[in-house]
A = this chain, B = another copy of it.
Amino acid sequence: MIGKLSGDERAQELASLPEWTLVAEPEGIKRRFTFSDFSEAFGFMTRVALLAEQANHHPEWFNVYNRVDITLTTHDADGLSRRDIDLAKAIDALLSA
């Protein structure tokens, strides 16, 4: 069982994830990604799916054509946990590689 981050931990971690926005219902973090076309967007989704499966922590996500909206939250913690932060960092690293 993984716990929800405290307010201080959350603020500290989010400082290192400037592209992600805190959202409510469910409490989590969200980022929009835009690509040149569907092929590029779905290629990215496939890489994220592999990361998610490896971490056994999965996104809530929406795609239309070249746009991917990812929300990360931890249902077991009823909010934002370290698992979300770790997955967000791994996703960001795909794009900076």
Contacts and interface: CB of A to CB of B under 8 A. Distances in A.
Interface in A55-89: 58-65
Contacts of A42: 49, 53
13 contacts: A38-B53, A38-B58, A42-B49, A45-B45, A58-B64, A58-B65, A59-B63, A59-B64, A60-B62, A60-B63, A60-B64, A61-B64, A62-B62
Interface size class, chain A: 10 to 19
A45 B39 CA distance: 13
Interface of A: 38-39, 42, 45-46, 49, 52-53, 58-65
A49 B43 CA distance: 10
